[in-house]
Chain A
């Protein structure tokens, strides 16, 4: 009796453990994976849209998956839903097997289905749809085997499978529903960087990027977060910089989609809305479903700033019909904006370039200068321009900007001393005239005696480049 009682608990306990394990994994170790999936999804509460979007083979799976994925926007909801689905897959497989075999073999099969689905879910571009398809087919089989007569069971199975093939489609896709996946924690951090950069959570960006600063994308996000916090002039060389390549990214067909997506973030903050818009459209174009609420939000913002109200209204009206972006969309709709939105638009619009010229986003200097010409108070553009000069070893260009009002920043002071030294004007009067404390000269002296103790200085960056230049034939 007791043995039977224990046996009856095995299934529920296994299901509970599976649910808890998968929930904890996606909540604690893999949170951005599901958030990004929501960002690339769009589910509209509109009859025409639903009828047009969800038709043809697999309509039910696509519909259900998109409906569920919208909730990944909420904290905890994504891991909760995915854990439930995965557990349901294992449970359904177990229940089917129990019709034909004993407890432990059934449990093994259920576990295999759960584990396989779990690993698939961790795939980079995986979509919830494919787990739903597996679950859907298992439930149909489970339903079919409820019939007692063998012939009826066979007929039901065939009918259900045909219906499933129509409504659910294939459980496999070469890109978005691979048979096999494995968690990639470094990729998860990269996705996290992208997510948090878009959310403008700069402290989180700094925290997430620290492990991967050797990677271009992480370095770029780290620099952007520093600039947004106003500390780029102090901390630019806290990690190794690959010249100017990770300060600002161009949007180009020759670069990866991920890089093009990130590129727009800095340009949006700086005020170049053309590049920001193209970055977003390029990202939208390359996203699995060719859409994404996140991108529509950015496109709406870009067009609000540029004053293209008709375009902004187009994107906002789409977002109005979503569950989680509707309130925001209605609050910023042209003609109905609140005070805070009007203020943000006015501030952003002040940054727009006043003179028109053509560029390919691969020469940030010209664009940054034009941004500053349009709005000398654009502190972010100023900081980026000065750091760009420093990274390019262009001290004359740097001094032109610096000399306007001697902005704060340890690296700027270090660069001033190098520039004065090259001008043979490194004396207390000149140092003071450029707003640098004389104690910095002493620190420079200490650097000269032991450069490797000052790796986070501009002096070290500059010296390394000079040494490399001397070593070249």
Chain B
């Protein structure tokens, strides 16, 4: 009896932590989705955004540039935790330039649905920026909490007559960002000795967006070998679109919107991406910004270390039985 229970438990653990090994980073069926630069991708992973840069467009508030990293770690094949941090450089329209560490960001993702034959994945996620940790000159005093959904879909099922469109894929996200406080009030004494109160509103916002990319590896491996060699054979031309709409407070109609055309190159252990950030309305800014990413597949790089969990190694080191 004890032996039977042990076998059942071992089998369950095997199913949970070993059988699903093919799902590390962005693979679903034949489709590989690279990590996108603006829109969060729907995959759980053991990966590092080693360097993530955004030189933002100049808008009515000024210009902000961020340099940061993010580390994500799977605890099961369908669940991961992430932590990130950014260093911010701000050039306000009215005021001196400043810089400093932003607030830390934490999150998790859980895969709700995955269909290899349809190259489809649906994930739920939650992110939190913990306010008041970074210096007040650059970081928000309040925290924000962002539940949402993420999806990915490859077009590999298109009919033969549209086979050259099969390398296209789309992935997107829809979130709600909820502030811990609706407003913060700063009290100060001006040069005349009068007390002044400055109220800053923090609206609930809906960030959403999607990325459309064309996979040259998919084209050459599954549709037609058009004779491209490395590094061109590893390219993913991409356009990401992202919006953020406030749904409360005085800035209710000030939706920001960007188109982000660029290129992603994926090697065996590392991904590099570069995009322009083009504002699509006046609120978003008046000139183009830049997004850049160096992303490392640490589960592939050192699988025995980075796929370790307290419950076992997710990326198993022995062949499945």
Binding between chains A and B = no
B residues neighboring A (CB under 8 Å): none
